[in-house]
Structures are given as structure tokens and as C-alpha cells.
Structure 1
């Protein structure tokens, strides 16, 4: 029997999973899938490592299976496709580790209790990340579970990069810049030597551009600064999240428009970003294909903000040696990469248009003072690695 690790990434209405075999020094993908629409129209799908569909199930519209039903469905599927494999552990993505959790940890009642205290820092993510942990603990109490934190990679940042200019009575409650997408950045840092050794030891900005988007400045592959701060709504505009916003706007919404906390939460997390600006879609592919002026402006704003924050992160590094694009938009939208690189010509980036159209990996010219790259991220593989290392 070959040892296998299950990796779960749970959201409010979906659970994505991957299974990795421990056949050698590195985990090897065996299958992947997801259960989605958990509270409205549940659907399950699974694929082997080559992308062939090996499982499918749907429920009637209006059915709510929740996370409990999704875990049961995934468990039933894995039991029917476990030949030759033995599940030895489960790894979970947890969005917030606060100031305490700087490394992956085994899930225990004490650890979960501490993570519950961080729910106010990430109310839209943390409870859903933790629910499958508790469900599996009830179903398989003997199975080790490892929690991997999206904030941990950024704990290497200097204190000044994590601070807000607020009174100590506020900051002592944990109000500080945490940064997110850490598992993605950690993965990029781990493979960067294979692509650009000088970037791995030098000053690199990584742009994780997807439905959720952020950027991270890395010196010698360690986080120095990030565009996301206290929450995952900060920084760049995203699919439906507004990104950085003058706090005075929030006061205006309260005083002049009568909006309460929940209405503002819905606005800045679900109704803004690319969707809010374009009134067309939150999907960059649809915006790039649209002739609607609002869609074009949303793309322009997205690229402008990336360029502006790139300058800020380069300043935090004292210069820049490489720029890396990753995640859905970063890996698959050459038009966005082109806009960003051309706006960053002042930094010394010279785009190779043909290489960019091909998707890289190197998309800068040989004479470019700053190299530019497209490197696919793999947060689930990073979680599998951490899980393997943690359980020994």
C-alpha cells in the first residue's frame, strides 16, 4: 500500500480536494475534485491526475448538504477509489493563523480553540476552513490533521511592515497587517531557484493574480511586504472585492447612505472589484473579451493598481531583480501581463511579446534589466508537503 495525503480547501459553499501519493521524496498528485453549491444545488466532481473525470454526483436544486454532507461524499468516493493507497493524514488550508501560528500544526482541541478566537479577524473564511477539521475529527479521530496557514509566510516581515498607525489599545488586540496568499508565495519561493536562481536570492515581487489578488515583495525568498493587510479585502481590486479603500468612504457609507456593518461587508467583499466597476463580470476572461467601455476600464484599473503597487513593493525592497506572475489571471492572461510590464518599463522590465503570448516561463528579453516570469502556483502541493513534514 502507498501512503496518501488528502488536502482540503474549504470555503463557505464548496470544498476542493486533492489526493497526493507519497511515492518518493515529493508528493505526487493522484486525483482532484470538488463539492460545490453545498447549500443550494450541490454537485460533486472528481478527476484523475491526467484530467479524466472519474466521479460525478448531483443533487436536486434546493438541497442543502452543507460541509457535513460534502465530507461524507468525498469520503465515500475515496473509499471506492482507494485501491493501492492508504490515507495517512489530511492537510487543510486555514486562512488566518494570527500572530501565534507561524508554522503548520497538528489539529488538536486546544489549537482549534485558539483558532476560533481569530474568527473576528476573518469571519467570512475562518469558520468554513475549520468546520471540515471538526467533522473529520468526529468521523476519524485517529487520523492526523495538519493545519497550514495563509498568513504564516508573512510573519518574516519586519515589524514596521506589519504595523498600522493606530493607538496601542487597538493594535494590541491583533489589529495589524497580516498578509495572505502565503501558501502560494511559499510555493513560488520553493521553486524559484529552478527558474531563476538570481531571483531566488535577490529582490523579487510575486503577483498572485486571480479572483483574489495580491502581491508580495520577497528578499532572498522571504516576505518583506504584501499588498494585503488586516483582511483579504485589502490591496489590489479583485473579482468582487474592492481592494484598498479610503476609510473615509466607509464613514460616508454609514453617515450618508445609512449602511450598517453587514451591508458594507457585502459591498466591499461581494459587489465591488472587477464586477462592481464593470457591471459586467468578475471574470477577467469575460472582461478582456467584452467591448463594453466599463469592462475595458475595469481591466485598465486592475493593471494600473498592480503597476502602482509594484512601485511601492520595489521601494520596500530597495530595488527589484525579478517580477513573477502566478495564479489564474497571472498565468493565463497575457494581455494583463503586457499592460503591467509595459507600465513597469521605468523599473527596467522589457517585455518579450512572443514569449508572453506563449506563456513563458521567462517573458522578458535577454537585455531586460529586470526579468519577468510566469510560474504556475500550487498551494495544495505546498499543503501536502507541510503535512508530510509535520507528521514525520
Structure 2
């Protein structure tokens, strides 16, 4: 079964063509800078890479180009668009309506549209990907895989806020959680690796967006992101946890509007706000060269993660493994070291030599004497989306 996985963002579309159930990636690529100067389309098939600069005005044009390049005879992937059996769409926010992967129909689309206000930077673009895909891949089953779905197993005491009841009952203000596809994938990989179904795992997703999840017996029971994807850990441009009084002070005393505060906390805070750099590699390099500001930012970032690890160890009543994943989690030995230092009382003891090894595969980086496994597991949200789409279509 050929499944096309689409991750439609604000100015880009990532895609993979995957043969299931073999999990064989036939092609992967990206359309970048949609609606901007310098837009381009990239495709990788086996070891061959194609890249072409094109004017790409909107997402519809971008998806049409993806279909066109997949159908290009010289590429040799597809002869007809009807060879695609299913299109799996990443949808960021499913609210309380969706606790699992679903076949997209008009009712599902209406509910996704109703959630635009909860994820204004993501859901509208995810929805556009669905609309355009329906026109191009007419025979394919259109499948929605929600980032929030994995966290619908959180107990009420974890997802509720201590606010008036009507704000929850009438307006659904609660913690939903995000990055669920990634947390689901790496936790399943960890459980299979540990051969331990009755497990207590903390997954740490560190990228431009960051989150951490407490997972008991394969189910999310606590998570750092909430009503929106802004709180919790320090991120690339987002502040993470902040005292609400700061927001009131910025508005009441400093004269910022609510939109200005939102922009500052979402786009101008986090590591870029602290250092002026958006790339963690630059921050790490500067810190190693003695830059005190960059050094402090890294310590603040790691400190926040350590706080959550301690809290989640309490929620889980123990830890079998900590999993680091996503771009920073998988590649930054410095961040992993800062986070794992001085956690011996929890059984977390990092082996520095193992931590410094570069590899694109699941690996252990704890000391032989440690009671808690420290795993680095590359995430693969596209494979997870393909797996869930395949299971759904197979059972239709």
C-alpha cells in the first residue's frame, strides 16, 4: 500500500511516499518558502537528490508540484495519481473531539475548522493540505493524524486547569498537549527495545519546539504543553513557562497590546530572545568560546528540563528510561549532558564517551551501573503517520 504523508506548515510542505506495511520510504522531500522569494522543491529518491528553484505562490501550487514530481517519468515513482492508496495528514490540534486517527469526511473537516482559533499558526495550513490533496489524489483515503490525540489519555487531574468550571465546560479550556506523534513513536520504540510493557518512560522532544511527556505503560499521563504549544520548556522562539503576572504587567504597565505580548512570547522569546541566535549550534559554539549570555541560556534551558524530569519521576513513581529525541535531543551532546548532570539520585548517570558518539540509530548513553536507561531515539513522525493511516485503511 502506497501512502503519501503530508505535513503542511505555514510556509512549507514536508512529504514522504512510504510503502506499507514494509515501512519502505520510496521518496521524501520538501517544498520550502511558499509565497516567499527563493521558494524551491526538493526530492530524494534512494540516493539521488533533486532540487529546483520555482515560484510557488500558495499551498495548492506546492502540492500540485509534489504530485507532478512524483509522477515525473524520469523519477520513476508513480505512473498515475490513483496509485496513492492513502494520504496521511498531520493535523496539529484535534481538541477534545479526536482521540485517535480518523478518516476525513465533511464532519471531520468542519471540526478541524472549528479548532483554527486554538492553533492559528498550524491548523489552517493543515486544512489547506487536506483540501488540495482531495482534488489531486481523488481515489486515496484522506486520513487525519492529530498531534494532540496521544495525550487524550491524560487523567482529568492532569489536563484540567484550576479555573472556573464554566471555562472548561463551555469553552473547553484545558491542556491538550502536542508533539504527540513524535512522543508516541519514540515511546513505542523504547518499549519494544526495553521489552517492558509495564514501563515508566519520560520522552524529551527537543527541537525548535520542545516538550516532555510522562508515559506509563505506553500511555501519556502528563505533558508539558497545554492549551496551546507555548508553555513548558524553553524553546527556540517561545518562552515556555512564565508567571502570568508578567503578561499583565507588560499590558497594564508597559502598554503592550495582547497581540504584541503574544508575538513576543511566541516569536521573540526562548533561546532567540535570550541570545539573539535562532540556531542552537551557534549558541553552543559561542558558549564554548566563553560567551556568558549563551552559556546562561543553555543552563536555563537545561534547568527547565531537569525540573520537569523530577516532577514526572514523581508522577510516574519511578523511571525506567529517559528518551531524547528530535533535532536537538538527537544531536546535541552538550544539552543532554547539561540535563543529565546531578540527577544521580534518580538513577540517571550519563556516560560521557557514549554521549559524544554520533549515530542515527537508537542507542544507550548511560553508565553501566545506572539504574535508568538514557536512550537517544531518532523520531520519525512520517513513519508513525503512515503506520496509523495503514492500520485505519486496512480495517475499513
Alignment TM-score > 0.5, same fold: yes
With over 3 angstroms needed to count, the CA separation of the structure-2 counterparts of 1:218 and 1:83, relative to structure 1, is closer
- State the partner residue of 1:226: 223
* Matched residue, 1:78: 70
For the 8 Å contact 2:67–2:136, the answer to whether it is kept is no
Match in the other structure for 1:388: 390
Runs of 5+ unmatched residues, structure 2: none
**CA displacement, residues 147-176 of structure 1 (integer Å, 9 cap, x when unaligned):** 000011111111100010010111121110
SS at match of 1:358: coil
8 Å contact from structure 2 (residues 11, 35) kept in 1:
yes
Of 27, 32, 43, 1:31 maps to 27
Question: In 2, Cα distance between the equivalents of 1:92 and 1:49?
Answer: 23
Q: 3-state SS of the aligned residue for 1:257?
A: coil
Instruction: Give CA deviations for 1:308-337 in whole Å, capped at 9, x if unaligned.
Output: 111111111112221111111111011111
The RMSD of aligned alpha carbons is 1.5
Aligned-partner Cα distance in 1 for 2:36–2:255: 31
CA contact (8 A) 1:307 1:343 kept: no
Q: What's 1:249 paired with?
A: 246
Q: Conserved in 2, the CA contact under 8 Å of 1:94 and 1:148?
A: yes
Residue equivalent to 2:262: 265
Q: What is the correspondence of 1:141-160 to structure 2 with a 5 Å cutoff? A: 141-160=138-157
Deviations 1:276-297 (A, max 9, x none): 0112x12111111113321111
The offset of 1:353, in angstroms, is: 1.1
State how far apart, in whole Å, the 2-side matches of 1:29 and 1:74 are. Answer: 16
Q: CA deviation at 1:119?
A: 1.1
What corresponds to 2:332 in structure 1? 333
| Correspondences of 1:1-392 after superposition (within 5 Å) | 3-22=1-20, 25-41=21-37, 42-50=39-47, 52-53=48-49, 55-59=50-54, 65-80=57-72, 81-83=75-77, 86-172=83-169, 173-198=171-196, 200-279=197-276, 281-290=277-286, 291=289, 292-359=291-358, 361-392=363-394
Is the CA contact (8 Å cut-off) linking 1:278 and 1:297 kept in structure 2? no
Q: What secondary structure does 1:32 align onto?
A: strand
Q: Is the 8 A contact 2:191 2:218 kept in 1?
A: no
In the aligned structure 1, how far is the partner of 2:78 from the partner of 2:4? 15
Give the distance between the partners of 2:46 and 2:225, measured in 1 at CA: 33
- After TM superposition, what 4+ stretches of structure 1 lie above 4 angstroms from structure 2? none
* TM-score scaled by length of structure 2: 0.93
Q: Is the 8 A contact 1:206 1:215 kept in 2?
A: yes
Q: How many residues align?
A: 381
Matched position secondary structure for 1:369: coil
**TM-score between the two structures when normalised by the length of structure 1:** 0.94
- Give CA-to-partner distance per residue, 1:83-123, whole Å, 9 cap, x none: 46721111010001111101111111111001111111111
SS in 1 for 2:253: helix
